[in-house]
């Protein structure tokens, strides 16, 4: 008997790119739905937090629908969360964009800021440098992924977060920046896996497959 597909809630708080994210998750093997219903968000096997636009606008919109509390409750129970693009950025302590400084969700220390690069935004396909022990990039370690952003976290301040040993993937545009984080139940990518072709679907599939394990097994 075939096991049921893991359920993934895509948090609906007014962000763009949500429908393409839902479609990509389904292609990757999830039973995915767009929702802001608290019970659905809390009980799904996985939660995807999308994000497009300015850091301050995204964090305000998240908080307006209680998304910050739902994310915190899931993580406190070891239930997986995946942030994408600005959905990754808001997991950091702070963001500075066009002179506006905003507090993030604070799961990771550090500041998201504009990249020091000759051309912005960073738009297009770029390679990444994942750690050897990465589960998220298994099978796609040498692939390119699609980025659309001007801001990023250029540093990983300390080894702290939901897990004891976060796995950091790097990329470069003008300077090195955090391209992805795997931190216990909390994962995130600066790039858009839903726009990254077969490599992005494989990466989402890796994350979805991890939802079949218990929180203790996924560490």
- Of the candidates 122, 149, 173, 192, the residue annotated as catalytic is 192
Mean pLDDT, residues 174-178: 98
Query: Would residue 88 show up in a list of annotated catalytic residues for this protein?
Result: no
1 inside domain: no
Mean pLDDT, residues 182-202: 97
DSSP type of residue 20: H
- Of the candidates 88, 97, 182, 194, the residue annotated as catalytic is 194
What is this structure's pTM?
0.94
What's the confidence (pLDDT) of residue 63?
Answer: 97
92 inside domain: yes
Query: Would residue 77 show up in a list of annotated catalytic residues for this protein?
Result: no
End-to-end CA distance of the chain: 28
216 inside domain: no
CATH assignment at residue 12:
3.40.50.880
**Number of domains making up the chain:** 1
What's the confidence (pLDDT) of residue 217?
Answer: 41
Mean pLDDT, residues 22-34: 97
What's the confidence (pLDDT) of residue 207?
Answer: 98
Q: Assess contact for 186 and 161: CB atoms under 8 A.
A: yes
218 inside domain: no
Query: Would residue 133 show up in a list of annotated catalytic residues for this protein?
Result: no
Distance of alpha carbon 219 from alpha carbon 216, whole angstroms: 6
142 inside domain: yes
19 inside domain: yes
Domain that holds residue 46: 7-210
- Of the candidates 19, 85, 114, 122, the residue annotated as catalytic is 85
């Amino acid at each position: 008997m075939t096991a049921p597909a893991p359920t993934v809630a895509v948090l609906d708080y007014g962000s763009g790119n949500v429908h393409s994210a839902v479609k990509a998750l389904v292609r990757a093997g999830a039973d995915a739905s767009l929702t802001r219903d608290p019970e659905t968000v809390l009980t799904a096997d996985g939660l995807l937090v999308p994000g497009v636009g300015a850091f301050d606008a995204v964090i305000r919109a998240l908080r307006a629908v209680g998304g910050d509390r739902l994310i915190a409750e899931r993580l406190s129970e070891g239930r997986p969360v995946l942030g994408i693009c600005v959905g990754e950025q808001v997991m950091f302590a702070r963001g500075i964009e066009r002179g506006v400084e905003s507090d993030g969700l604070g799961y990771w220390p550090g500041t998201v800021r504009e990249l020091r690069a000759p051309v912005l935004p960073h738009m297009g396909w770029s390679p990444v440098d994942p750690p050897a022990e990465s589960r998220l990039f298994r099978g796609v370690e040498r692939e390119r992924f699609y980025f659309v952003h001007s801001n990023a976290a250029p540093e990983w301040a300390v080894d702290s977060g939901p897990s004891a040993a976060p796995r950091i993937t790097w990329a470069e545009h003008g300077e090195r920046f955090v391209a992805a984080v795997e931190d216990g139940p909390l994962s995130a990518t600066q790039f858009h896996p839903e726009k990254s072709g077969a490599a992005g679907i494989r990466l989402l599939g890796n994350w979805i497959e991890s939802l079949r394990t218990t929180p203790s097994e996924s560490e």
